[in-house]
């Protein structure tokens, strides 16, 4: 099982058992940070790391990582969608809506995932 699969499993477990949230989400972030250290230009690693950072409400950090994924050529729906989630919290509503619209036109990668987003929450 590669780092992305392991990280995804940890994130899924974090959502299923909230009492283990912090431990599992921190472990997922650590796995992805290690993957990023060895593959700093891998858009899939950056996209997954951005999702985890969003899930941890580290939106400024997530935005930087996800913009890097786009700069590396990512055409993954999850990259743009996760960036929209980050920008929803760091930028303007207009910027976020533009990114949500752009994400809707792309195809998602099976290797990445979307950050949690509740448009009615804060």
Residues 5-47 have pLDDT tens digits of 999 999 999 999 999 999 999 999 999 999 999 999 999 999 9
- Angle between helix 43-55 and 77-90 (nearest 10): 40
Lookup: tokens for 122:
């804060």
Residue 90 has pLDDT above 60, yes or no: yes
Binning pLDDT at 50, 70 and 90, where does residue 119 land? confident
**Model's pTM, two decimal places?**
0.95
DSSP state of 20: G
**Per-residue model confidence (pLDDT) at position 62:** 98
Query: Does residue 122 have a pLDDT over 80?
Result: no
Q: What is the mean pLDDT of residues 72-101?
A: 96
59-98 per-residue burial string, b: 16 or more CB within 10 A, e: under 16: bebbbebbbbbbebebebbbbbbbbbbbbbbbbeeeebee
Q: What is the pLDDT of residue 121?
A: 67
């Amino acid at each position: 099982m590669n780092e992305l699969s392991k990280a995804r499993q940890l994130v899924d477990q974090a959502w299923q058992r909230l009492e283990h949230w912090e431990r599992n989400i921190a472990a997922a972030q650590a796995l992805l940070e290690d993957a990023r250290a060895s593959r700093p230009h891998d858009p899939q690693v950056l996209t997954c790391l951005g999702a985890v950072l969003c899930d941890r409400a580290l939106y400024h950090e997530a935005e930087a990582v996800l913009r890097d994924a786009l700069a590396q050529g990512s055409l993954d729906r999850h990259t743009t969608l996760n960036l929209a989630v980050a920008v929803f919290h760091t930028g303007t509503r207009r910027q976020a809506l533009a990114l949500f619209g752009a994400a809707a036109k792309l195809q998602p990668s099976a290797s990445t995932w979307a950050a949690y987003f509740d448009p009615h929450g804060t």
